Amino acid sequence: MKARVTVMLKNGVLDVQGEAVRHALGTLGFAGVTGVRQGKVIELELAQTDAATAETEVKAMCEKLLANTVIESYRVEIL
């Protein structure tokens, strides 16, 4: 079973990397981009066969390691 975790900065947290990308896009002639939020995607290969249990385990992984829950939010997809 596979899981995909998407981690993004929470709204209101300054996204310095996203702002740098937005600026670079403008420099390259893509003037219509008014905002960029950058995050990360983590794909996990799991031995677990029960989707509900897998989701619970992956959420625990996010809370303990994969996301800084003070400034980041995450979304878990079981694939």
How do residues 16-75 score in pLDDT, each as one tens digit? Answer: 999 999 999 999 999 999 999 999 999 999 999 999 999 999 999 999 999 999 999 999
What range defines the domain where residue 50 resides? 2-78
Question: For the chain, what is the domain count?
Answer: 1
CATH code: domain of residue 32: 3.30.1280.10
CB atoms within 10 A of CB 3: 21
pLDDT band of residue 7 (cuts 50, 70, 90) is: very high
The residue to which tokens 């002639």 are assigned? 29
Read off the DSSP letter of residue 13.
Answer: S
pLDDT at 13: 96
Question: How confident is the model over 26-39, as pLDDT tens digits?
Answer: 999 999 999 999 99
Rounded to an integer, the average pLDDT of 1-5 is 97
Task: Give bridge partners of residue 42 from the DSSP assignment.
Answer: 5
Pairing of strands 39-45, 72-78: unpaired
Q: Alpha-carbon distance 13 to 34, whole Å? A: 17
pLDDT at 68: 97
The residue among 51, 53, 50, 76 whose CA lies nearest residue 63 is: 76
